[in-house]
Structure 1
Amino acid sequence: METLDSASLALVIILDALDECDDAYATTLLRLFGKLVGKLPHQVKLFMTSRGEPHLQQCYKSDPLEAQLEIRSMGDENVELVEDDISAYFKDRLPDMVGQWIAEPSDWPGDEKRRALVNKTQDLFICATTVARMIADPRSRDPERQLDDILSSDSICLDDMYAQILDRACPPGSDDDLVDLFRNVLGALVVARVPINIHTLASLLSPDESQDHQFVQHIRTRVLSYLQAVLIIPSVEVPKIAQDAEPIRFIRTSFVDYLTNHSRGDPRFLLDPGEQHEQLAIGCLRRMRDLKRNMCDLDPLLLNSEVANLEQRIRDSMSPGLQYACAQMSVHVTYREWRGPRIGEGVRHHETSVLAGRAQLDGEGSRSG
């Protein structure tokens, strides 16, 4: 703060698309800024963009944040400004994104098609970024065709784009096994309690632990590689340690809404959160077959807090899937009342091992053994 007080340049903190955050996180963040904003040096400016969601509007009007905010609405008078910004985005980003497939990409696709593309976005940057990723889809390797398909479509609202992406990834008429694979992968990513990487995902979904590596490749080639317009998928390069792989993330929460809303989209991909929690609960129990007493080889006389390098020892002894299972299984098991005995029997069978594994992960229990 002392350095900022003496600085001549302004520091701008940008929070873009705040409405895309989880409601509780967004509210907590705004309350935190409300407490700190009066203590910040005058050079520090906060710039936020968001839709006018009720829970955010309520935060804006609370003390002391209300006195510090200047709220501006992007009304009809700003449409041309937004369109110019989206056009500039396309002009800057598309040539780089399609350069390996277009002979002369410097001004691609030209002013006329760029204007038509801007008109398709309904003045929404979320549409513009999704369209750009669709056009540059590495699976198609044909940006011209992708662009023509988008421009020839009757509508390009988000639901239409999501439907196009899923239809190309898993065309109507695909066999049931492929549809189930897409649903299981997307469902696991939606309900997972923390972002998970591809190794954890495969570990929880694979019916055969000995085939986990092959299942990782199966998920990557059959599902994830087709969904790069809606998912942040880490590089194909596999780290030496599976835990070090970056997690898979949804680019927009609106895609999650699309997958879980009964009034939108293709029923083939409609996700029932309860069914997906049950699927992960079963996957967690399957992983827990690997549990054994004191598998991290800890001194039973020491508290977990007294064990040197406990986190590293857990990483060395427990797979990413097993770590997730021990830490998060209870959430998936208790999501709803289960039909049939398979969950309850599995929990009873592994009860002692589950408690021991959970204790080693989060420091519960009086002794590390």
Structure 2
Amino acid sequence: MKWPAHKDHAETRGTSGWKVQHVERFCIDKSNNTEFSEAINSMFQWYKNATRCYVYLSDVLKSDTENVKDPLRASWKKKFRESRWFTRGWTLQELIAPSCVEFFAQNGQRLGDKTSLEQLIHEITGVSINALRGSSLSNFSIDERMSWSNGRKTKKAEDKAYSLWGIFNVHMPLIYGEGEEKAFNRLRIEIDQQSAISRAISEQVSLLSRIPIAMGASFDSHAEEYNPTCLPGTRMGALHEITKWAEDPNAKAMFWLNGMAGTGKSTISRTLARSFSKRAQLGASFFFKRGEGDRGGVSKFFATITAQLVQREPALTRHVKDVIDRDPTIFGKALQEQFNNLILEPLSKTHSCRENNGAVVIVIDALDECDGDEDTKKIIQLFSNANSGKPLLLRTFLTSRPDLPIRLGFASVQDTYQDLLLHEIDECLIKDDIHVYFEHELGKIKAEYNTSVPNHRRLPSSWGTHSQIQILAEMATPLFISASTACRFIAEQNRKSKLDDMYLLVLEQLLSGMSNDEEEKTFDLFRRVVGSIVLLEQPLPTVALANLLDISEDTIDTLLDSLHSVLNIPPSPQSPVRLLHLSFREFLIDPLNRNKHRFWVDKSTTHRYLLKCYLHIMNKTFNLGNLNVRSLRYPLKAYDPLERPDTPTLEVQYVWPHWVYHAQELGDRTVLDDEDYHFLEDLFGHWGWQIVKFYRALGHNIQLLTRGT
């Protein structure tokens, strides 16, 4: 509010009901360049934020008897039109920015406000009535806004341009002495740059509205918001190796983080995506999730990647728009065509814009949860060739379980990727990371619980000690999902395990596309092969399993091809197949799961089946007169007939020290046919002393052998 400087105390009462008893002049220290520049650049916003602004017109006089309700007929309107206030350059933003401006005459009489006087003000200034009413100034052309300053004067020539900064929402340094022409040239350049940016944003928004995306697929979506990232100090080796790959201009096109179910792949993906995003290196991310609509397949995969690239790289907008304008059906075309036209072509045309900023990284998580084996292999093949013969640096980080289609996909693009097997990282390192996770989660659980209960129910300081956490970490290693499930159970007392859901997801893929008869055959084979693997006292290689169970090695290998996510299946048929985690064994044989899923394994039936297989091997393989007990070694020794012709095969070595274990597990439920009993009677009658000596040497329990004697 400006009030006559000679009045120390002025008094007026407006429609607001405010009574002004004293007015102090607002001053800016013009000798301080920083303060003065900030004031000029912020002036429009200050006025805009004001609740009400008052204008004192010292050259307008209004008598007490004049009718304010009809200002256009009032006698003071001529003086109002001629007021110097409307000719000053700086008052333009004082008029436009505030939502409410009240005008007062020389004698303090209220003349009206910006609303009641809008027609008169419009005629005086040429400012659009809509602008006076608060419409966004971006709705008015540059030339129209420039015209509002016509005829206005300022003390300094440069201020004619500077007083328009707020009208055009520009921020520039003050350069007094540059002259009016240069000041307006700088203003024009800044306006043009902002207009170009505004047009680019408008085009970008328009383009994005045309691209169909998979909601929730990006790492920063609401669907992923509460999912964990790596705690500080954990997974350091893996994160460092992957980050180094992304920054290396000579690195392979892809990095495959390969890990069995529950090993923490997605947590690492989210951590890396966030890290790459902060460094402006992330191009896009897609987190596959089976059963979550478009996130479970490729129908919107490349469209979603394209949309994110456009958001992060505005320079791509024009090129992607050209592709869509040229072929509006591109999002339904073959994956190869989508990839080439929507991603490779635009990126190659804008490569020079990013040349100094390193590679663009695309993060693809849980590729194994993408429906369609051929689609997953195609994605691998396309990204492996991304940098082939093209002047761009595109890096693709993928995670998946070691499922067969994905292993086949990577096998077909050798030398185009770097990989890391999470389940082969030193277990000591994994256990340390899981220990840190338990410390963090249990500390949070304890704090939240103690906050929610009275003092007498609070957990003591001895709850969650280092030794207790150490035991939990040992039990959970190497599966992070076991640790998270344990913490969830402790926090919520809810026994429904995410592990069960994960194991079912993997196993159900065995039955994909099968008829009812084929499913029954698969269930029978699964219970015999996998049931045996989880109940063997010591793991065996597939070659020994095949001979022991009298099932062809090819049949076993074909079944196990789909189970790399839950079993540790080595590339060599001479190396044993192991459980990744005991929780898978519990999932299969827990009696409580008998009616919960179709893959349940009857423990007694399987022990009985194995015992029959053992006795068959013993009866079939050995001529009792030539039995060399010393050749039955423990632990098992690989069979090499050239090195040791008398060394039995692995399954034979396994049978002798372990058949008692399965008989003991059956207990009184042991049921053998007459042929098996006769074999045992003949065996122990002739060679009982050697067998007893053998079992004593191995330290095995022989209670079964002496039962009933």
TM-score when normalising by structure 1: 0.51
Paired letter, 1:259: L
**3-state secondary structure, aligned to 1:158:** helix
Can you list the C-alpha shifts for 1:109-147, whole angstroms capped at 9, x where unaligned? 882647888xx9xxxxxxx9x99874442334569xxxx
Residue 550 of structure 2 corresponds to residue 219 of structure 1:
no
SS of residue paired to 1:342: coil
- Is 2:498 aligned against 1:167? no
1:291 is the counterpart of 2:649: no
Aligned CA distance change for structure 1 residues 254 and 156 (closer, same or farther; 3 Å)? closer
1:261 aligns with 2:595: no
Distance 1:92 1:266 in 2: 41
1:198 equivalent to 2:545? Answer no
Match of 2:580 in 1: 251
Determine helix, strand or coil for the equivalent of 1:316: coil
Unaligned runs of 5+ in 1: 1-78, 97-102, 121-127, 144-154, 207-211, 239-244, 299-303, 306-310
Q: Matched residue of 2:624: which SS?
A: coil
Amino acid at match of 1:229: S
| Aligned counterpart, 1:328 | 658
Question: What does residue 139 of structure 1 align with?
Answer: 405
Q: How far apart are the structure 1 equivalents of 2:244 and 2:691?
A: 50
What's the CA shift for 1:316? 3.2
CA contact (8 A) 2:589 2:603 kept: yes
Going from structure 1 to structure 2, the CA distance change for 1:113 and 1:349 (only over 3 Å counts) comes to same
Q: Could you tell me which amino acid in structure 2 is paired with residue 157 of structure 1?
A: K
Q: What are the ranges of 5 or more consecutive residues in structure 2 without an aligned counterpart? A: 1-227, 246-251, 258-268, 274-283, 293-365, 370-397, 411-495, 632-636, 699-709
More relative contact order in 1 or in 2 (CA 8 Å, sep 6+)? 1
Distance in 2 (CA, whole Å) between partners of 1:315 and 1:180 is 36
What is the CA deviation profile of residues 19-57 of structure 1, one whole-angstrom value per residue up to 9, with x for unaligned ones? xxxxxxxxxxxxxxxxxxxxxxxxxxxxxxxxxxxxxxx
Give the deviation of 1:170 after TM superposition: 3.0
CA RMSD of aligned residues (A): 4.6
Greater helix percent: which structure? Answer: 1
1:16 equivalent in structure 2 = none
**CA drift at 1:90:** 7.4
For residues 359 and 263 of structure 1, do their structure 2 counterparts lie closer, same or farther at Cα, with a shift above 3 Å needed? closer
Asked if the contact 1:87–1:114 (Cα under 8 Å) also holds between the matched residues in 2, the reply is no
**CA offset at residue 247 of structure 1?**
0.9
CA distance in 2, matches of 1:219, 1:363: 34
The alpha-carbon distance between structure 1 residues 296 and 254, as it changes in their structure 2 partners (threshold 3 A), is same
Tell me the secondary structure at the aligned position of residue 269 of structure 1.
Answer: coil
Distance 2:697 2:233 in 1: 56
Compared with structure 1, are the counterparts of its residues 268 and 104 closer, same or farther at alpha carbon in structure 2 (3 Å cutoff)? same
The whole-number CA distance in structure 1 between the counterparts of 2:239 and 2:596 is 29
Separation in structure 2 between the aligned mates of residue 136 and residue 94 of structure 1, nearest angstrom: 22
Q: Given the superposition, is the C-alpha separation of residues 90 and 278 from structure 1 closer, same or farther in structure 2, using an over 3 Å criterion?
A: farther
Change (3 A) 1:278 1:181: same
Matches within 5 A, 1:13-162: 81-82=230-231, 85=234, 89=238, 104-106=253-255, 111=273, 113=285, 134-140=400-406, 141=408, 157-162=498-503
1:287 deviates by 0.4
Distance change >3 Å, CA 80–CA 181, structure 1 → 2: closer
Measured after TM superposition, the shift of residue 363 of structure 1 is 7.1
- Helix, strand or coil: the match of 2:646? helix
Q: What is the alpha-carbon distance in structure 1 between the residues aligned to residue 659 and residue 256 of structure 2?
A: 52
Cα contact 1:292–1:353 (8 A) shared by 2: no
Distance in 1 of aligned mates of 2:652 and 2:694:
10
Q: Distance in 2 between matches of 1:361 and 1:137?
A: 42
Match of 1:346 among 646, 652, 676: 676
Cα gap change, 1:337 to 1:159, in 2 (>3 Å): same
Query: What amino acid does structure 2 have at the position aligned with 1:228?
Result: H
Cα 1:338–1:137 change in 2 (3 A) is same
How far did residue 106 of structure 1 move?
4.7
CA displacement 1:171-210 (0-9 Å, x = unmatched): 474432221111111111111111111122112211xxxx
Tell me which amino acid in the other structure corresponds to 1:165.
V
Map of 2:530 onto structure 1: 186
Q: Is the 8 A contact 1:198 1:248 kept in 2?
A: yes
Which amino acid letter does the alignment assign opposite residue 519 of structure 2?
Answer: D
> Is residue 323–residue 361 contact of structure 1 (8 Å, CA) maintained in 2?
no
Change in 2 beyond 3 A, CA 1:279/1:89:
same
Deviations 1:311-344 (A, max 9, x none): 8898734222222222111121232246685356
Shift in CA distance, 165/263, structure 1 to aligned 2, threshold 3 Å: same
Equivalent AA in structure 1 for residue 403 of structure 2:
D
Q: Is 2:543 the counterpart of 1:277?
A: no
Q: 1:93 to 1:187 in 2, by over 3 A?
A: farther
Query: 2:487 aligns to what?
Result: none
Match of 1:301 in 2: none
Alpha-carbon distance in 2 for matches of 1:95, 1:116: 25
Letter in 1 for 2:557: R
Q: Identical aligned pairs, as a percentage?
A: 20
In 1, the alpha carbon distance for the partners of 2:548 and 2:538 equals 13
Contact 2:403 2:561 (C-alpha < 8 Å) held by counterparts: no
CA distance, structure 2, for counterparts of residue 256 and residue 84 of structure 1: 32
The match for 1:54 is: none
2-structure distance, mates of 1:95, 1:183: 44
CA distance in 2, matches of 1:170, 1:276: 22
Deviates more, 1:134-143 or 1:192-201: 134-143
Aligned length: 236
The question of whether the paired residues in 2 share the 8 Å contact of 1:133 and 1:229 is answered with no
TM-score, scaled relative to structure 2: 0.28
CA deviations over 1:289-321 (Å, ceiling 9, x no partner)? 2221243568xxxxx59xxxxx88987342222
Q: Secondary structure of 2:626's match?
A: coil
Question: Structure 1's 247 and 338: CA in aligned 2 closer, same or farther, altered over 3 A?
Answer: same
Deviation at 1:257, TM superposition (A): 1.5
Q: Residue type of the partner of 1:233?
A: I
Question: Which amino acid in 2 is paired with 1:261?
Answer: D
One-letter amino acid matched to 1:292: N
Question: Residues 256 and 341 from structure 1, CA distance in 2 versus in 1: closer, same or farther, beyond 3 angstroms?
Answer: closer
Cα distance in 2 between the residues matched to 1:325 and 1:205: 12
